[in-house]
Amino acid sequence: MSPSRKRKASTSEPLVEPSRREPLRAHLLGWYDRQKRDLPWRRTRDPYAIWLSEVMLQQTQVATVIPYWERFLQRFPTVEALAAAPLPDVLAAWRGLGYYSRARNLHRAAQEVVARFGGKLPSTAAELLCLPGFGRYTAGAVASIAFGEPAPLVDGNVARVLSRLFEVEGPPGDRAREARLWALATGLVPGERPGDFNQALMEHGATVCRPDSPLCLLCPVREECLAYRHGRVDELPPAKVRAAPKRMTLAVAVWAHEGRLLLARRAEKGLFGGLWELPAAEVDGETPDTTSATRLAEALGTPVTVHGHLGTVRRQLTHRALSLRLLRVTGSARPSHAPAFRELRWCTPEEASSLGMSTAMHKALEAAVTAGALRE
């Protein structure tokens, strides 16, 4: 690849010439009509159900999302039902999907939709952007798919497809690259069936123009693809350099009393915000038990004594390597509220299991019970 062939990321050059734009749109839409996967949210016109699918799909695979989407809609079938539900119930329905801020924002946005728009989702990307949890992508997806607005969207799949089709340089995250991708998406979306066109771009990235081994010989827009024409498919887009996950150790208080365990609900913000847990406090990896006891006492607002270890649960999140160190603790006064938590409860393991809890903490609860936490 000679340097002269490389195109600079720029937003000032003409977006897409009509002679490329029209065949590209027509070929992608035709392919989508023939090849699209039969996904449940493609069988509904309900904007709320479409919005929910977009939120769930942001960081989660399609196959995982389908049963969650169906169960969530059974439990909260309308925006009004979701808005009226207590947040812990919403978080409980989300358990296992991760990235709980999505569920918290969804809940807040549903409440705003009821309060400000009479329970009807606004139909333009500009209005949707004012709701919690709506970024440019989600606003574009809901506005175009549910309401037919020619609003652009760029997600990871679309970014890869456009990078290759138009030889967009720069690594993921590069601002000039992102600006050019959005400009291209904006230039392509007006026309027939903008929602289907956006879905066609995403579907093409998910099933044909895949990150590794794209199926160029089956590609409906091969003729329009500059990366294919110039033999650059393997180098576009360049791989993103990922930071190593941060290590995080939590001292977890396993405090049993007469067959019940102390459970705490976290503040709304931050990691696992709003979720229930065995009360936990962040500590250094090598922290001695006395320091862990101090941290837990600060969080619970009462002195605690560590009586031994019940094991360690490890869990890999996208950006964190979590270690949950399970410590059997007691204290002279059994707390009913605490400075670091929204709420405390003494629960049987069965009651605890039904609370909105992260998968990591659910595993910690199981490990603690299995290790004999309730044998006082």
DSSP H helices, the chain, are: 18-35, 47-57, 62-75, 79-84, 87-94, 101-117, 125-128, 136-147, 156-165, 175-188, 194-207, 226-229, 289-300, 349-353, 359-370
Confirm or reject binding of residue 219 to ligand SF4 (CB under 6 A).
Answer: yes
The DSSP string of 259-291 is TEEEEEEE-SSSTTTT-EES-EEEE-TT--HHH
Write each residue from 137 to 156 as x if it is in contact with ligand SF4 (CB under 6 A), else as -, in one continuous string: --------------------
Among 79, 221, 254, 329, binds ligand SF4 (CB under 6 A): 221
**Identity of the residue, 36 or 222, whose beta carbon is nearer to ligand SF4 in the bound complex:** 222
Name the amino acid, one letter, at 115: A
- Nearest approach in angstroms of CB 216 to ligand SF4 is 3
Confirm or reject binding of residue 216 to ligand SF4 (CB under 6 A).
Answer: yes
**Identity of the residue, 159 or 252, whose beta carbon is nearer to ligand SF4 in the bound complex:** 159
Confirm or reject binding of residue 237 to ligand SF4 (CB under 6 A).
Answer: no
- Nearest approach in angstroms of CB 42 to ligand SF4 is 22
Residues 6+ away with beta carbon under 8 Å from 125 = 136, 139, 140, 142, 143, 144, 149, 151
Among 222, 260, 315, 363, binds ligand SF4 (CB under 6 A): 222
Instruction: Reduce the DSSP state of residue 117 to 3 states and report it.
Output: helix
For ligand SF4 (CB under 6 A), the number of binding residues is 15
Among 57, 209, 299, 347, binds ligand SF4 (CB under 6 A): 209
- Nearest approach in angstroms of CB 54 to ligand SF4 is 23
Write each residue from 159 to 198 as x if it is in contact with ligand SF4 (CB under 6 A), else as -, in one continuous string: --x--xx---------------------------------
- Nearest approach in angstroms of CB 229 to ligand SF4 is 9
Show contacts with ligand SF4 in window 263-322 (CB under 6 A): none
Cα within 13 Å of Cα(308), Cβ side: 7
Rounded CA-CA distance 244/260 in Å is 38
Among 47, 88, 194, 214, binds ligand SF4 (CB under 6 A): 214
Annotated active-site residue 54? The verdict is: yes
Rounded CA-CA distance 196/29 in Å is 7
What letter does residue 233 receive in the DSSP assignment? G
Residues 6+ away with beta carbon under 8 Å from 274 = 87, 88, 91, 100, 104, 265, 266, 267, 268, 342, 356
Annotated catalytic residue, options 54, 149, 167, 277: 54
Residues at the site binding ligand SF4, with contacts judged by CB under 6 A: 161, 164-165, 208-209, 214-216, 219, 221-222, 225, 227-228, 233
**Which residues carry out catalysis?**
54
